[in-house]
Structure 1
Amino acid sequence: MHKKSFYHTVLWIFLSFITLSTTSFSQTLQGKVNNVPTGQSLQGVSVLVKDGTQGTSTDSIGNYHLPLPPGTYHIQYSLVGYTTQVKEVTIGSKDIIINLSLEESNLLLGDVVIVGTRSTQVRSSVETVAPVDIISSHDLQATGQIEPTQMISMLAPSFNSSRQTVADGTDHIDPATLRGLGTDQVLVLLNGKRRHNQALINVNGTVGRGSVGTDLNTIPSSAIERVEVLREGASSQYGSDAIAGVINVVLKKDTGMAVNLHLGQFYEGDGKNAQLGLYKGFRIGKIGIISAAADLRLREGTNRAGSYTGPVYVNWNGTTDPALRQERYTQDQALIAQNGFSLEKNMQIGNSSVNNFSGMLNGSLPISPKTEVYFFGLANYRLGNAAGFYRYPYQTSQVIAELYPNGFLPQIHSTLLDKSITLGIRGEIGEGWRWDLSSVYGGNSFRFDIDNTNNASQFALGAAAPKSFYAGTLRFNQHTTDLGISKDFGPQIGFRSFNIAGGFTYRIDNYQIAAGEEASYRNYDSSSGKAGGAQVFPGFQPANAVNERRNVKAGYLDLETDINNRLLLNAAGRYEYYSDFGGNLTGKLSARYKFADFFSIRSTISNGFRAPSIHQRYFSAISTVFVSVPDQGLQPRQQGTFRNDGPVAEAFGIPSLTAERSLNYSLGFTSRPITNVNITLDAYQIDIKNRIVLTGQFQRGTSAAGLQTAQILDAAGQTDVQAAVFFTNAVNTRTQGIDVVISTDYRVAEGKLTLTLAGNLNKTEVQGEPKASATLPNEVFGTILFNRQEKGRLEWSQPRSKFTMSANYQWRRFAAMLRVTSYGIVKAFDPSEPLLDEDFGAKAITDLNVSYQASRFLRLTIGANNLFNVYPDKLKVNQYPTATSPTSLDNTSFGRFVYSRNVTQFGFNGGYYFLSLSFNL
């Protein structure tokens, strides 16, 4: 659909909305839901029409409104921890009011699940054929976090997300993973519709290197009703990316108003956070509901840098002669004292500072008794600021002395824009044929502005040289149109259910790189030995600029049937054709058998795939990276990331990208051995072939590989580039793991105590040898193509175990939550020197908060995350060179890094305390 016609459609929908708001097609079922025996209002109760598409949930004071055309319905009321009720209701010419109370139940894992099924059968998370975590908005808010990725990470053991540092754009977007796999191997849905990826591709040395994720932090947390985490491969149902699983974010759509205020900071006194979340839902006449939400999040940066011990004005580390080394060291120390140069925390190592503004609109409008139009959209605007490596005065090839006599700390300013809008129409025709036609348009852009820096090749300008540069913009846009049709034939053939669903999808992906200003990338005097381009992040060059698109066509078929009250089967198949690499067929077969009400087993076998992202195919850039050089520590290098289908990649024998393919196996059980205990345990194995990685560095040098690298780069005109990396299908991996959830509750005095243990054990291992270059010998380039550092990143950069034990106690107006999370060990590997490898031990952190319902409308919460101020292990290999010792084994970069920036379990900011106020009106 052309962009103009798409927006015209949006305008038509809103004009129709206004016109139709004065016309009544239906009456309203409304009422209030309370708790037994306290009588308190219940928020978030699902109110659904069984075997239908209509539904809503109760607002902050327990009220609900559900417009329905005339007829007789079975209405189901359900909420986690409460017994489900079903009421038969006949809608006529007047509104119907039904008030009811739900009794507390021991079925703590039960909540209606949308993700992973296209059946109209209402199933709880323990009744599905695949494991699903249901995380409510209340649970998200209770974490004491302000960003969705961090909220989910604290509540779902198989989900991990940690903030990165000194990683360029990745400082501003948190990589998020499921079951220890890649950030691009989990699919994100919004209200069941595919969410577009971010524009940024992670090319730095962090978790998810070489991958493109989906930025969950663009979603306002005040807009989230719940998050569904499907821990199962689902490519046959939803398409590419769903190798590890699916995360479905469900937006609120109920009446009422809520205001949330959060204030907090870290124990160290920095990293202040503030959030203001607003939500409002209202009815339009008697026929529609619109909800709106807005989030303002302000995040101050943190700094956990150590004291610098290296050269500042005189490079005493540039010689191994003891006398000359000592002489230069003495000179350097004298200049440091003379100029008052501070060696304390002269780098910014920690959270970047980010200001985030986001909004949501969500609504539906019945246009006939069995048809409704729905729409939802998000908008996000984010400003970030992060720093790179300090440039010291002795680094004359990088510093213009007249501009920065004491060196400088370059800054990366990011501007992120994200928008999406979904328009759809759905309904029912004939005898139970349900249909849904939708169109989703979304886009993300990432602009780089570099400040407090210089282009050293402009040294002739002296103090007049520019300090700021526009370095370019990344953009990704996606437009998806989907038609789905389904019908339950169960009653006609004597089964409890026999749902058949099918449909078609057409998607357009568009990826753009816009070049920066000339001075951000150009070398104005290459013969001088001065580095060209903006220090810390040279701008994208015109040769990097692209505007590429591809289209994807898909068809799918999904069958789900309750053969009887014990056996549930699901089979799905999907074929997708990508215009840039070809087609792929996936399938899945799942079963759940209920031996008794207290015990069921479930199992799935499926194949999946992940298409190479359009970013991985067309991204290219020249950047400054710091690499470990023997006896010199971290040194800057101009590194070229060359596009997969370009002449440089061809010269190195890098083949065209193709899809990653997986085989998924799972076996698990759900059990309720006694009335107040629920258990789910699921074991899985995921074999992935042709995983796409970003290679190690092909560096110029005196070795056979180094000389051949130099020859190829010079022949391609890349004389300023010292190293090259590429995207390629290089390795096969196997991931094995177990997910477990155990929950129970008890009456303690007059209150209720809920205990939950949730954990994930997983292990990823590289299988066999990496694939060799198509034309260059593996004995020369094999260890570079996929070196030991990259192997370790796949296998050990994320904890192999994560367990959370939580206790929630509620007594009258008081509530308390205690949570202990244990993280397994992680490891970091050097590309070539095993003595630089590091292991970081298992850690446990404790979170505690207490809340008080001050009135019907106001709740006050105080708490602390990481209550006991636990930090990960410090870097142990820190024998950095001194005035008398030129050799070193140093991971700390002359003491600047206290904690690893390559791997992290939960960050290294320490304890955090906060205050939250929630107003529900």
Structure 2
Amino acid sequence: MTRFSRSVWLSSFSSLAFLAAPAIAQTPQDPPGDAAETEPADTQQEIIVTGTRRSDRTIADSPVPIDVVSAETLSHSGFTETNRLLNQQVPSFNFPQPAITDGTDVVRPATLRGLNPDQTLVLVNGKRRHTTALLNINGSVGRGSAAVDINLIPSIALSRVEVLRDGAAAQYGSDAIGGVINFQLSDRRSGGRVQVNYGTYISNVQGDERVTGLVTGANGQPTTAIDGTYNLATTGKDRHVEDGQTVTVAGIVGLPIGAEGHLTLSAQYQDRESTNRTSYDPRRQYDLIGGQVDAREFTFNRLSHRYGDPDTRDILLFANAGLPLGNDIELYAFASYGRRNGQSAAFYRLASDARNIQSIYPNGFLPLINTVLDDKAGTIGLRGEIGGFRWDLSGGHAKNDFDFLISNTLNRSFGPTSPTRFDSGGLRYSQTLANLDVSKDLGIGFVDSATIAGGLEYRRETFRIRPGETASYQGGAFGGASGAQGFPGFAPIIGGQQVDRERARHNVSAYAEIDADITKRFNLQIAGRYEDYSDFGSDWNGKIAARFEPVDGIALRASASTGFRAPSLQQQFFAAQATNSVNGLLLETVTLPVDNPIAIALGATPLDAETSVSYSAGLVFNAVPRLNVTVDVYQVTIDDRIVVTENLNATRDAAGNPTGTNPGRAIATILNNAGFTTTNAARFFVNGLDTRTRGVDVVGTYRMDIGATGRLTLTAGYNYNKTKLQRILAAPGPLAAVPGVVLFGRQEQLRLTDGQPRDKVNFSIDYEHDWLAFTARTNRYGEVLAAGGELGPAGSGIFNDVAMEAKWITDFEVRASAGEMFEFALGANNVFDIYPTGIPAGLAGTTAAGANVFYPTSSYVTPFSSFSPFGFNGRFVYGRMSVRF
């Protein structure tokens, strides 16, 4: 605990314990002690709480596909981030690990069924989880979304995870287009567990040969490649790395409250050092001296960038508590606190770069983006039964803060006196929630059984931008690029509009649902929901699902539903600006809210909700004892998907008059006519696309006993997923008359259709016998296209694309128990040290006119794509010790 104050740890944990003490569990899950972690279970007969308001629904009886991942399964890995664990277990779940994407480096979003991160609803104990304040605005999967940070939910706090792979907006409201992930907290009353994980990456970086220096000619000067970069002398062997050392200490304890109540406390501390998979930078770093190379070129450390996992330190605390009050009434509460300190990097500024000041950084500099995430959430409620009606009344509040502190940097426009450290501001988001849910089992003569349910929900959200210190965004007397290099600060006025003000909205909703077993073999579920938002209006949604079992052990199921996703406050009101020097001219680029006058001048209009129609059909087979197989096909069409436009560039001369060719000239004319003569590039959000996603999920499990104390579990999963663009928004407003304007370009289109694996396969074997156990797991991640922009002159047809081949990633772990208390484990994730297809560099091709076209020189220092669905760090080896009590 060297990198966090012990007083912060203890005081935060005590506060959570105080908040959650007088409460009762949201749902009964774990029996006392560790029984839920040690005893085998028939998961098909587990009672589920996601996708139904019935109290007796099992996985096998569900009319829609649901995966249940137990806490025990999640613990069999060297990783402790919940997103990475689900990526190993759920075929339709994708978790890329981007780098050099500012705040997205440390708050990495995940996706379900190839949809956006904000199109899957996340619940904790059945209650809506809040999103982060961060908007993923850079070039990652999920660009333009504000998602729930699942990594703030430690796996040790869970009893299980339920993944509903079906549209459920009619039951749960906005965001549930792609499905629902419900994290069920453990509610143990006694006993506990403490575990310590230590792991590190030990890898040979595929294709990155270790460099010993520069290749020189007879004159002692470095020789150059065809693209003008220096030729590097190598050993011919891949570079060996050992980094990313990660220490995780986690614990859970159950405490009784009275005769039946409980208080379950969980905590996790993780200290992860950064990884670096950059390659050697062959560019000239320094200005020539009299036509000769600066001597420092020969000694410069060309592993100057940082490209990989950020350095992070996390503290995560959860409390889940409950207390019966008598008369069939229960009081429950759960709360969480999370804090993450992260550090990632921007691109290295060369010594000779126009953005550098050599008197401050004579050898250039690497801007460091330090981030602080602070997250708090709490829910309290009462539930009970009156006259056969089960009721649940709850309220909750959550707040997420995200701040940027940029170090090892400068503001070029301030000259030699520039500070080297800046507070660049931050983002604020809050959610307040109130729910009333009521259900009742009915006795109707013509049906076998039925449950009706209904409820009300009120939700209020707020979003605010905290401006940075003045020097982080302001221009100085020396000219050139203004603002903190790496991440310019948020200005209080952007595009002529004040951004430091709280934006808020609220919505109310009501739903009704009936779940009926018409006969013992036929189940029918119908749901409807009405939502009314203060900012964009109202929406109706419905769902119907059915399950028919013609013979024992074989069932057919299907569903049809409509859904929606309200535009997030972040998408509506995020604003940022940066000023860069392009060909000697200052280019002010702004991301604008849709209500900003500049955005309105270009055609921006208030955002509407995304709407969807989903269909699924499947087969359930469990006629063979201990064998369970499900096959489900699905289609999700989404209209009015919310996306950010391309940069709309205006071209002007030194006097501010429109110049050049269209579309830049015409955009400058539009802006000048509206009175905005200094904005050179702008982008904003639009309801820009209609898409159709089709796919299939296959999941199978088989369990068998081996001898008196052994058991073997085999699991297989497969997902195929394909998204197609059905419609692209035509340029709105004045832009409609601009020749050649591109609102949503090729690169962004391909990010949606090809930026995630087309298919994914999971196989795993879990074996236990007496004191010895092992887990073997392999995942095949299908092809991914990381699309880039066009290289060379327009129309050359040469693009900066990376087609990543399908790869198998294999994990192995062996565990040994010493008595009832101790367990020791050794293992490796990505045991065969597999890397994704590398990014090409150098010559890209030749135009029809015979001109050479080159890949960006940044390709040399980012040798692997951030779109890789399994990252690009190589082999991770680890050990774990657990103590039960």
TM range (shorter): 0.7 to 0.9
Displacement after TM superposition at 1:877 (Å): 4.5
Displacement after TM superposition at 1:781 (Å): 5.3
TM-score by length of 1: 0.84
Displacement after TM superposition at 1:567 (Å): 0.7
Specify the SS of the correspondent of 1:775: helix
Task: Say whether 1:850 aligns with 2:814.
Answer: yes
Q: Is the 8 A contact 1:693 1:730 kept in 2?
A: yes
Equivalent runs, 1:333-412 vs 2, <5 Å:
333-337=293-297, 340-343=299-302, 345-396=303-354, 398-412=355-369
Q: Is the 8 A contact 2:169 2:562 kept in 1?
A: yes
Displacement after TM superposition at 1:675 (Å): 2.5
Instruction: Give the letter for the 1:613 counterpart.
Output: S
Equivalent runs, 1:561-576 vs 2, <5 Å:
561-576=516-531
Task: Say whether 1:201 aligns with 2:135.
Answer: yes
Summarize the Cα distance change of 1:513–1:854 in structure 2 as closer, same or farther, 3 Å threshold: same
Q: Is the 8 A contact 2:195 2:251 kept in 1?
A: yes
Displacement after TM superposition at 1:154 (Å): 0.9
Summarize the Cα distance change of 1:571–1:538 in structure 2 as closer, same or farther, 3 Å threshold: same
**Aligned residue for 1:752?**
711
The separation in 2 between residues aligned to 1:781 and 1:689, in whole angstroms, is 25
Which of 411, 415, 424 pairs up with 1:471? Answer: 424
Q: Is the 8 A contact 2:174 2:565 kept in 1?
A: yes
The separation in 2 between residues aligned to 1:538 and 1:117, in whole angstroms, is 47
The separation in 1 between residues aligned to 2:424 and 2:674, in whole angstroms, is 23
Displacement after TM superposition at 1:880 (Å): 7.8
Identical aligned residues as a percent: 37
**Aligned residue for 1:310?**
283
Instruction: Give the letter for the 2:257 counterpart.
Output: I
Task: Say whether 1:521 aligns with 2:473.
Answer: yes
Which of 744, 757, 761 pairs up with 1:799? Answer: 757
- Flag the structure with more relative contact order, 1 or 2, with Cα contacts below 8 A and sequence separation at least 6: 2
Instruction: Give the letter for the 1:401 counterpart.
Output: Q
Displacement after TM superposition at 1:716 (Å): 6.7
Specify the SS of the correspondent of 2:728: coil
Specify the SS of the correspondent of 1:532: coil
The separation in 2 between residues aligned to 1:694 and 1:818, in whole angstroms, is 42
TM-score by length of 2: 0.87
Q: Is the 8 A contact 1:655 1:774 kept in 2?
A: no
**Aligned residue for 1:679?**
629
Cα displacement string for residues 733-775 of structure 1 (whole angstroms, at most 9, x for unaligned residues) = 0000000011213445663322111111000111133332133
Cα displacement string for residues 845-881 of structure 1 (whole angstroms, at most 9, x for unaligned residues) = 1000000111101111110000000000001253289
Which segment is superposed worse, 726-735 or 136-145?
A: 136-145
Summarize the Cα distance change of 1:714–1:912 in structure 2 as closer, same or farther, 3 Å threshold: farther
Task: Say whether 1:771 aligns with 2:730.
Answer: yes
The separation in 2 between residues aligned to 1:416 and 1:679, in whole angstroms, is 41
Task: Say whether 1:438 aligns with 2:438.
Answer: no
**Aligned residue for 1:619?**
574
Summarize the Cα distance change of 1:564–1:332 in structure 2 as closer, same or farther, 3 Å threshold: farther
Task: Say whether 1:486 aligns with 2:439.
Answer: yes
The separation in 1 between residues aligned to 2:649 and 2:526, in whole angstroms, is 49
Which of 60, 79, 84 pairs up with 1:150? Answer: 84
Q: Is the 8 A contact 1:871 1:910 kept in 2?
A: yes
Which segment is superposed worse, 739-748 or 801-810?
A: 739-748
Equivalent runs, 1:627-646 vs 2, <5 Å:
638-646=588-596
Summarize the Cα distance change of 1:524–1:438 in structure 2 as closer, same or farther, 3 Å threshold: same
Task: Say whether 1:456 aligns with 2:409.
Answer: no
Specify the SS of the correspondent of 1:375: strand
The separation in 2 between residues aligned to 1:415 and 1:15, in whole angstroms, is 24
Displacement after TM superposition at 1:715 (Å): 6.3
Summarize the Cα distance change of 1:16–1:173 in structure 2 as closer, same or farther, 3 Å threshold: closer
Which segment is superposed worse, 571-580 or 740-749?
A: 740-749
**Aligned residue for 1:594?**
549
Which of 452, 455, 461 pairs up with 1:509? Answer: 461
Question: How many residues were matched structurally?
Answer: 810
Specify the SS of the correspondent of 2:343: strand
Instruction: Give the letter for the 1:218 counterpart.
Output: L
Equivalent runs, 1:630-779 vs 2, <5 Å:
638-701=588-651, 702-713=660-671, 722-748=680-706, 751-777=710-736
CA RMSD of aligned residues (A): 2.8
Displacement after TM superposition at 1:429 (Å): 0.8
Summarize the Cα distance change of 1:485–1:440 in structure 2 as closer, same or farther, 3 Å threshold: same
The separation in 2 between residues aligned to 1:222 and 1:679, in whole angstroms, is 28
Q: Is the 8 A contact 1:290 1:362 kept in 2?
A: yes
The separation in 1 between residues aligned to 2:272 and 2:603, in whole angstroms, is 45
Specify the SS of the correspondent of 2:519: coil
Q: Is the 8 A contact 2:100 2:307 kept in 1?
A: yes
Equivalent runs, 1:765-844 vs 2, <5 Å:
765-777=724-736, 780=739, 782=741, 784-833=742-791, 834-835=797-798, 836-844=800-808
The separation in 1 between residues aligned to 2:763 and 2:18, in whole angstroms, is 47
Displacement after TM superposition at 1:797 (Å): 0.8
The separation in 2 between residues aligned to 1:663 and 1:898, in whole angstroms, is 40
Task: Say whether 1:859 aligns with 2:823.
Answer: yes
Which of 199, 202, 210 pairs up with 1:264? Answer: 199
Displacement after TM superposition at 1:625 (Å): 8.6
Instruction: Give the letter for the 1:580 counterpart.
Output: D
The separation in 2 between residues aligned to 1:486 and 1:108, in whole angstroms, is 25
Summarize the Cα distance change of 1:716–1:329 in structure 2 as closer, same or farther, 3 Å threshold: farther
The separation in 1 between residues aligned to 2:47 and 2:290, in whole angstroms, is 71
**Aligned residue for 1:909?**
873
The separation in 2 between residues aligned to 1:342 and 1:718, in whole angstroms, is 45
Displacement after TM superposition at 1:623 (Å): 3.6
Displacement after TM superposition at 1:838 (Å): 2.3
Cα displacement string for residues 669-719 of structure 1 (whole angstroms, at most 9, x for unaligned residues) = 100243242110000000000000011121234331112333445667766
Q: Is the 8 A contact 1:880 1:894 kept in 2?
A: no
The separation in 2 between residues aligned to 1:719 and 1:356, in whole angstroms, is 45
**Aligned residue for 2:9?**
none
Specify the SS of the correspondent of 1:443: strand
Specify the SS of the correspondent of 1:217: helix
Specify the SS of the correspondent of 1:575: strand
The separation in 2 between residues aligned to 1:134 and 1:11, in whole angstroms, is 31
The separation in 2 between residues aligned to 1:232 and 1:860, in whole angstroms, is 38
Q: Is the 8 A contact 2:403 2:425 kept in 1?
A: yes
The separation in 1 between residues aligned to 2:816 and 2:623, in whole angstroms, is 34
Q: Is the 8 A contact 1:536 1:624 kept in 2?
A: no
Q: Is the 8 A contact 1:760 1:802 kept in 2?
A: yes
Displacement after TM superposition at 1:222 (Å): 1.7
Instruction: Give the letter for the 1:861 counterpart.
Output: A
Instruction: Give the letter for the 1:364 counterpart.
Output: G
Q: Is the 8 A contact 1:390 1:408 kept in 2?
A: yes
Cα displacement string for residues 625-646 of structure 1 (whole angstroms, at most 9, x for unaligned residues) = 999x9xx9xx996531011111
The separation in 1 between residues aligned to 2:581 and 2:378, in whole angstroms, is 40
Displacement after TM superposition at 1:657 (Å): 0.5
Q: Is the 8 A contact 1:131 1:682 kept in 2?
A: yes
The separation in 2 between residues aligned to 1:332 and 1:147, in whole angstroms, is 50
Displacement after TM superposition at 1:889 (Å): 2.2
**Aligned residue for 1:119?**
54
The separation in 2 between residues aligned to 1:894 and 1:272, in whole angstroms, is 26
Task: Say whether 1:535 aligns with 2:535.
Answer: no
The separation in 2 between residues aligned to 1:152 and 1:687, in whole angstroms, is 25
The separation in 1 between residues aligned to 2:38 and 2:558, in whole angstroms, is 26
Summarize the Cα distance change of 1:146–1:915 in structure 2 as closer, same or farther, 3 Å threshold: same
